[in-house]
Amino acid sequence: MEGVLRINPKKFHEAFIPSPDGDRDIFIDGVVARNRALNGDLVVVNLLPEEQWKVIKPESNDKETEGAYESDLPEELCGSHLLQQSLKGYNDSPDVIIEAQFDDSDSEDGHGNTQNALIDGVKKLSVCVHEKGKEDAGAPVTKDEDTFMSQDTRALPEKSLQRSAKVVYILEKKHSRAATGFLKLLADKNSELFRKYALFSPSDHRVPRVYVPLKDCPQDFVTRPKDYANTLFICRIVDWREDSNFALGQLAKSLGQAGEIEPETEGILTEYGVDFSDFSSEVLECLPQGLPWTIPPEEFSKRRDLRKDCVFTIDPSTARDLDDALSCKPIADGNFEVGVHIADVSYFVPEGSSLDKVAAERATSVYLVQKVVPMLPRLLCEELCSLNPMTDKLTFSVIWTLTPKGKILSEWFGQTIIRSCTKLSYEHAQSMIEGPTRKIPEKELPPVSPEHTSEEVHRAVLNLHGIAKELRKQRFVDGALRLDQLKLAFTLDHETGLPQGCHIYEYRDSNKLVEEFMLLANMAVARKIHRTFPERALLRRHPPPQTKMLNDLVEFCDQMGLPMDFSSAGALNKSLMETFGDDKYSLARKEVLTNMCSRPMQMALYFCSGVLQDQTQFRHYALNVPLYTHFTSPIRRFADILVHRLLAATLGYRELPDVEPDALQKQADHCNDRRMASKRVQELSTSLFFAILVKESGPLESEAMVMGVLNQAFDVLVLRYGVQKRIYCNALPLRSYRFQKVGKKPELTLVWEPEDVAQEPAQQVVSIFSLVEVVLRAEATALKYSAVLKRPGTEGLLGWQDEQGGDDLEEEQD
């Protein structure tokens, strides 16, 4: 069988591949059985004989049988825009608010995540999530309740065995074979190895330790090893013998001090294979040379001229790469002409050019908390393609006649020229929505071109908002799912770049407005290209949740007495909307359950329609539509450029790209891989900044809700910050603790050591959905922080909603 290898970041001797039938993962035990494959590699495994399968004790409750997932909800599912941020304003405002912009793919995925998701240690649901491997690698681990036995496994019930396998072939090395970590001297000073090699110890324990030649190391490393104890290095694996637990490698470079933003960021980018080098002169030569560039006269004869229309952009206030603009004209019959206008990036990226090749290789822009690694050179991202106000721009448009209820009466696709009349931020659009009759003073709005008025823009925003609300309502009636998870935004210090504060951002009506029209455009383009080129369309599918994990979740909800319906995406959405009230406890419980529901979700994937025979597999589970694609963000996603070329061919603007279905599928696979890497990098960037915030501003207090209970620890969702942490009983001042199951519900009873000898010890019962108070505090090791429970009855904790803020952070979802 083949599959993508996932190594548990908490217990790195355990690895898994998904079962082809959606059942329990297949288990791979130990480094030798992995046969030198690394996390993320596509491998072929051979099942071991049944007597060597993993035996799961009944009471272990499947905790360790589902390996580590890293978070990967499709964006369409989450409604969360990639923390997309631009650095405008970085130099001229004291505190930069980093804003999230939506990646249209987030609503697509409903928001689930599997194959590589935030949830670095998804276990069976009653157990719950682990924190990131990096953070807790050294933390105490509960005793492994699963055992391997040589007894006759045939006598055991089928449920208590987990199929086990060994890797026999690596089909594709997806892991970069690079890691960040620290240098150490070998322990045995008298060995032959000691004279030739140092030991490289990766920060990510899923990567093996590596022997590196001393000649690669700093000159004084052998005599002064302690000077380098906190220096972060990058190492690349060059060889790894079959019979060795250690690999051979080369030191690529010294990054700087561990725990500092730039060295850590460079390490993350390198580990995940992100190309952050400057664009070569060969690539830059593909760009228009005579600046300022103007639209050639022949384009006006080929395109529909919309420059007189009231067209505008809505983006995060700091955004510089403006992909999309909107327009809305009332028609005499009471309907509206609504346009989505997308930057015509493919005009500037000639097929087969050096620019095309580097964009295809990068496949996506990567958004970090403090900066962006762009897919295209800045001249394109921020000037030529960006739909900046009051300049003529080349666009690809979808224009509909829509009723006020959002019913499509007609649809037009074509290449256009627009002149955006203003650049609205989400805050501007939100204030227009919230003050429908208020005349907004000029000083509160950005400049509007003289041909239009701010009242005209305000009316257009209100009309779009009215239609978007109807479109959204209908989407959920038609069975769409959205899993909104808490997302963090940071305020950065202008001088140092360090995080000053953070808040969970709010996803508001202005975000939803943009999201609805981006989804509408993506769905329309998907139908159009698939109808014309049924074998050559680049589409985006979202498979249904993994059966085994979904069944576990169903069982868990039954145990907890939660009336959840998992029969379809729409039924799940309805359950989440209706099961919970809007008091603080209910909202917290909804956050935890949303988090759990995201675990069985799979990644949304680009694919070529001619390669998948079964059209039912084209469906998008979270959006609950038969066809979907990405068209609306070509400045930051290569898939969208490919879709633009296909759409241009369907409309007769150009020949069909000369790409066979198999070659297009290869491009789709590469886009999927890079998108997954970029999502993971974004999560790690957020984790890095949060860990620094805890170190600089901590300890931080928050309410938290228990998500899972183990026999010596429990997992919590920290409600003020949206992070998940494991709290270990042996790290608390307890006299004793006891684990038991009450019915089927796991429970820990904690007996606190009294602070005063005269006091009775306080008892505290911890079970799933308990609200507890936690403190996050930095540890001595760079960038590690832990969560501890506050002793019951201690003062000084604010309610978690008091600081939700989030006005400064937006997402725009396609």
Q: Name the binding residues for Mg(2+).
A: 315, 324
137, amino acid identity: A
Q: Assess contact for 201 and 180: CB atoms under 8 A.
A: no
| Residue whose pair of structure tokens reads 């990967």 in the numeric block | 72
Spatial neighbors of 668 by CB under 8 A, at least 6 apart, are 538, 605, 606, 607, 608, 639
Q: Region of 589 please: left (phi>0), alpha (psi -120 to 50) or beta.
A: alpha
Q: Assess contact for 777 and 786: CB atoms under 8 A.
A: yes
- Report the chain's C-alpha Rg in angstroms: 27
Kindly state the helix (H) or strand (E) to which residue 367 belongs, with its residue range: strand 366-367
- Of 85, 667, 653, 678, the closest CA to residue 346 belongs to 653
* Rounded-to-integer distance, Cα 166 and Cα 27, Å: 9
- DSSP label of 567: S
CA 40, distance to chain mean position in Å, is: 16
| Residue whose pair of structure tokens reads 């890293």 in the numeric block | 70
92 burial via Cβ count (<10 Å: 0-12, 13-18, 19+): exposed
6 token code pair: 């996932």
Q: What number of other Cβ atoms are within 10 A of residue 476's Cβ? A: 16
3-state secondary structure of 289: coil
Spatial neighbors of 278 by CB under 8 A, at least 6 apart, are none
* Rounded-to-integer distance, Cα 276 and Cα 261, Å: 16
Spatial neighbors of 484 by CB under 8 A, at least 6 apart, are 78, 79, 80, 111, 507, 594
Cα 367 to Cα 76, 273, 627, 637, 675, distances in angstroms? 17, 14, 27, 12, 11
Q: Region of 103 please: left (phi>0), alpha (psi -120 to 50) or beta.
A: beta
Q: Assess contact for 681 and 366: CB atoms under 8 A.
A: yes
CA atoms in the 13 A half-sphere facing the CB of 411: 12
Cα 139 to Cα 163, 196, 691, 800, distances in angstroms? 28, 33, 16, 26
Q: What number of other Cβ atoms are within 10 A of residue 430's Cβ? A: 22
Q: Assess contact for 304 and 285: CB atoms under 8 A.
A: no
Q: Assess contact for 98 and 370: CB atoms under 8 A.
A: yes
468 token code pair: 């978007």
* Rounded-to-integer distance, Cα 255 and Cα 263, Å: 5
631 token code pair: 């068209």
Q: Assess contact for 777 and 565: CB atoms under 8 A.
A: no
How do beta strands 538-541 and 700-709 pair? Answer: unpaired
Residue 706 phi/psi, 5° resolution? -75, 130
- Of 269, 237, 268, the closest CA to residue 252 belongs to 237
What residues form the annotated binding site?
Answer: 315, 324
Is the backbone peptide bond immediately before 292 cis, with ω within 30 degrees of 0?
Answer: yes
* Rounded-to-integer distance, Cα 813 and Cα 78, Å: 9
88 token code pair: 């405008």
Strand partners, 416: 304, 395
- Of 252, 280, 231, 242, the closest CA to residue 176 belongs to 252
* Rounded-to-integer distance, Cα 361 and Cα 504, Å: 33
Specify the length of the chain in residues.
814
